[in-house]
Amino acid sequence: MSRKDAIFYSLLGAFAAAMAYTIPLIFLHTPTAQPQAGGLAQKIFYFHVAVAMGIYVTGGACFLASAMYLVRPSESANAWARAGSDCAALFGTLVLCSGPLWAKKAWGVYWVWDPQLTTLLLSVLIYWAICLLRAFAGDGGAERRFAAALGVMGTVNLPIIYFSVQKWGGNHPTVIREGGGGLDDSMKPAFRWGVLTLTLLLPPLLLWLRSRLALVQASMEHTWQEALTRGLVDHPDDFEPGEEALPNAHGVR
């Protein structure tokens, strides 16, 4: 097992163990909040906030790697930029799905055009746009640069999400932020474990997995090009990175 694999399996093990501890902690050992805060539905908070913080981790990775790619293009920077936008899109979608489920109980509606919700939606749409661009517009130098520029732009919007609460008001709770009353002591362990599991362990795990996928896809494209040049495979127009290679006359796939 290589050193990288060892790090990955350590992360996976730590994440699984932390998750196994966090779930019963939230469901069985953490008290229910007041009905105005959603009652039982308030327990969504313990991973909703942690996953929302995960957007900053994955978005930050996307920003750094995208900026690095724009300055000095490399396969590695492109892979991490791609991984960052993929993971930020996933985390953002999870936040946008879990938040409304709590809001329906606490506010009576799934969605309001609150500044924080709206700016988050904008960021998630940008990350999804990057994913779609990379999936359907090819993997050439121009597409990579455009995706990297979008990655920088999407992450620049993230601080606006955070500060929108202070600047523009709205309905979104400010429990653990400046001006908030905070959590009761009995609720803090669940929140801390949620942050450990979903903000500190899950994002690096997913980033590593997705960056490895992007690197393997790039390796496939290079290998395929070499195979084409050497006359080993046919049908160059049918190939897309990640798809199964077509067999040539020698039966090589």
* Binding residues for another protein restricted to 122-161, rule: CB under 8 A: none
Contact 70/145 with Cβ under 8 angstroms? Answer: yes
What is the helix (H) or strand (E) element at residue 56, kind and residue range?
helix 45-71
Whichever of 76 and 146 has its CB closer to another protein, that residue is: 76
Q: Which of residues 89-128 bind another protein (CB under 8 A)?
A: 90, 93-94, 97-98, 101-102, 104-106, 112-115, 117-118
Does 73 engage in binding with another protein (CB under 8 A)? Answer: no
Whichever of 36 and 72 has its CB closer to another protein, that residue is: 36
Out of 18, 22, 45, 65, the only residue in the binding site for another protein (CB under 8 A) is 45
Q: Which stretch binds another protein (CB under 8 A): 88-96, 126-134, 136-144, 149-157?
A: 88-96
23: which residues sit within 8 A by CB, 6+ positions away?
none
Whichever of 16 and 137 has its CB closer to another protein, that residue is: 16
**Torsion from C-alpha of 120, 144, 242, 248, nearest 10 degrees:** 160
| Alpha-carbon span 51 to 69, nearest angstrom | 26
Out of 68, 131, 171, 189, the only residue in the binding site for another protein (CB under 8 A) is 171
Q: Which of residues 212-241 bind another protein (CB under 8 A)?
A: 212-213, 216-217, 219-220, 223-224, 226-227, 230, 232-233
Does 6 engage in binding with another protein (CB under 8 A)? Answer: no
Does 200 engage in binding with another protein (CB under 8 A)? Answer: no
Out of 183, 195, 196, 201, the only residue in the binding site for another protein (CB under 8 A) is 183
> In 3D, which of 75, 61, 71 has the Cα closest to residue 208?
61
User: HSE-up of 27 (CA within 13 Å, CB side)?
Assistant: 6
> In 3D, which of 35, 42, 19 has the Cα closest to residue 175?
42
| Alpha-carbon span 187 to 176, nearest angstrom | 12
Out of 20, 40, 137, 156, the only residue in the binding site for another protein (CB under 8 A) is 40
| Alpha-carbon span 147 to 110, nearest angstrom | 32
